Amino acid sequence: MEHIAIISLGCPKNTVDSEILAAIAGNSGFELTNDLDAADIVVVNTCAFIEPAVEEAITTILDVSKLKKTGKLRRLIVAGCLTERYREKILEEMPEVDLCIGIDAIPELGRILTDEPVGVLTGDKTSIDFLELPRKLSASDKSAYIKISDGCDNTCTYCMIPSIRGKMRSRKIENIVEEVSSLAKEYNLHEAILVAQDTTNYGFDIYGKPSLSDLLEKLVTREGPEWFRMLYCYPELIDDRLIEIISSNERIIPYFDIPLQHASDRILKLMGRKGTNLYYRELIGKIRKKIKDAVIRTTFITGFPGESDQDFNELHQFVKDMNFDRIGVFTYCDEDGAASYKLPGKIEGTLASERRDILMSEQANISRKINQKRVGKVYDIIISNVSDDGIFYEARSYGEAPEIDGFVYVVSSEPLEPGAFVKARILEAREYDLIGEVLNDSTQ
């Protein structure tokens, strides 16, 4: 039996695609392996959202290709966004690659592994059917990403996703509910994380209106995971009904991942964003008034073309005022093909980085103060892994999303496995992480 390795790069949405690829490979008679030296075939599922992601993908592909000389590797397949963005260029510049497959060609992997075609195999990015295929989950902590739609209808001027992934295509509510129910039974899930390019716009293409609230109401009627978490919730469609549904159901955790990207109205308009500084302030205030323990995370971009000192100062003051639980700050990437590429007033990379560092330094102080308020409190946590020092377990409460936030580091008098769902008391706060102890009969 031949062995196949699947390398997943990029965001959680790509993780879902990779898990579908893994299930297809397993069902086609191939043995999955994480040992690249033992792999006869390697599939690299790539990200190509911004230039650093493209560089990571290319580096990974070239590193893997060396195994054709030093390992068992006889076939190298590149999948995902890099294929959608560059297609034949990959094969021209990297002859080590045997085949490029696009996103809509994912269901073809079984045939590809048998027939072994070469070249480029892509679809037209109009189908969502591949998301209904079985998956082999990659996480060991009984948490799963659930992709509720693919593609995007927004026109953010800095973003390549619509051209890479196509227009938004939503899955039917009943299909998503069935997938969650099935995965919960098979893997004993504790957490289902709903993801899309724009989660709050889910369903508009098939139901004629944003339907995330309808989906959530259906999900919580079925047995399944203790937690439902949502990522990538664009702010304009977070309405009173959605906030009420989250506040009134304990299984829908009050974790709001809201990409704002800036707080200067002038820059937001140049970005093609629909919000304003005032609207964002009112929305955050409304969430916190309704849900006392809401955790709010956002992302910002510094160095967007034309960002003046005044624009940045508005953003800096906004971060100070809003006291976000978590933020991520990225410097602008000038992507050829994005509308912002043609904008004047390009910002030097060093200045963009300086502005990013100012925001992150500000946030470190804010985060430390927020975390200190959690000391002494008891939370349900999911054990993710054993930490590198072998003393602590890495864990997450409702306030930490996997891969993007910090950890709750806990000690336990009893051994624990990844995926254990237990209670812990917080003992110490750091800038982004917490320290605690798992509660048992002697510590409660």
What's the CA gap between 89 and 83, in Å, rounded? 9
The pLDDT averaged over each successive group of 10 residues in the chain (444 residues) is: 96 96 96 96 95 95 95 95 90 94 91 92 82 95 97 95 94 98 96 98 97 98 96 97 98 98 98 97 98 97 98 98 97 95 97 98 97 97 88 95 95 94 97 94 52
C-beta of residue 405 within 8 angstroms of C-beta of residue 399:
yes
**3-class DSSP assignment, residue 323:** coil
**3-class DSSP assignment, residue 296:** strand
Token digits for 400?
A: 């930490």
How many Cβ atoms sit within 10 Å of the Cβ of residue 435?
18
C-beta of residue 423 within 8 angstroms of C-beta of residue 395:
no
Domains of the chain: 3-121 (3.40.50.12160), 136-372 (3.80.30.20), 378-438 (2.40.50.140)
DSSP assignment of 123-172: --S---GGGGS------SSSEEEEE-EES-----TT--HHHHH-S-EEPP
C-beta of residue 44 within 8 angstroms of C-beta of residue 50:
no
What's the CA gap between 22 and 187, in Å, rounded? 16
Enter the pTM of the model.
Answer: 0.96
C-beta of residue 153 within 8 angstroms of C-beta of residue 206:
no
What's the CA gap between 31 and 22, in Å, rounded? 10
Residue at 225: amino acid letter: P
Token digits for 263?
A: 């707080």
